[in-house]
Amino acid sequence: MPARKVITAEDIKPFIPQLQSRELTRAQLAAQLGVCLPTLRREIKALGIEVPTKRNERPLHERLLELFTQEELQTLTQYEISQRLNLKQPNVARAMTKLGIKRNDVYGNTQRDELCEQVASYIMEHGGYVQSTIKKLGLKVYRNAVYDYCKARNIDLRPYRFAHRRYGSWLTLPCIAETAYNCDYKVKAVCTKCGTVHYPQLVNLKRGVSTQCLDCASKERRSGNSSRSVRCVTTDETFKSVRSLANSIGVSYQTMLAVLKRDGLFEHDGLRYRLD
CA distances from 201 to 23, 145, 187 (A): 65, 31, 6
User: Is the pLDDT at 109 greater than 50, yes or no?
Assistant: yes
Looking at residue 131, its pLDDT comes to 94
Domain boundaries, the chain: 9-54, 58-98, 106-160, 166-213, 224-275
Looking at residue 56, its pLDDT comes to 47
Rg (CA), the chain: 36
Share of the chain above pLDDT 90, in %: 22
Looking at residue 175, its pLDDT comes to 93
CA dihedral 24, 27, 28, 29 (to 10 degrees): 80
Looking at residue 259, its pLDDT comes to 83
Which whole number is the average pLDDT over 38-44? 81
pLDDT digits (tens, 9 = 90+) for 153-196: 899 999 999 999 998 889 999 999 888 877 788 999 999 989 99
Looking at residue 118, its pLDDT comes to 94
pLDDT digits (tens, 9 = 90+) for 58-105: 788 888 888 888 888 877 888 888 888 777 888 888 888 888 877 555
Q: How far apart are CA 35 and CA 27, in angstroms?
A: 10
User: Is the pLDDT at 2 greater than 60, yes or no?
Assistant: no
- CA 210 distance to own-chain centroid: 27
User: Is the pLDDT at 107 greater than 60, yes or no?
Assistant: no
Model confidence at 57, pLDDT cuts 50, 70, 90, reads low
According to DSSP, the β-strands at 266-268 and 197-198 are unpaired
pLDDT digits (tens, 9 = 90+) for 198-238: 999 999 888 888 888 888 877 777 665 555 788 888 888 88
Closest CA to 267 of 227, 224, 230: 230
- Determine which helix (DSSP H) or strand (DSSP E) holds 54, and give its type and residue range: none
Q: Which pTM was predicted?
A: 0.48
Residue 164 DSSP symbol: S
Identify which has the larger pLDDT, 56 or 24.
24
Which whole number is the average pLDDT over 128-144? 92
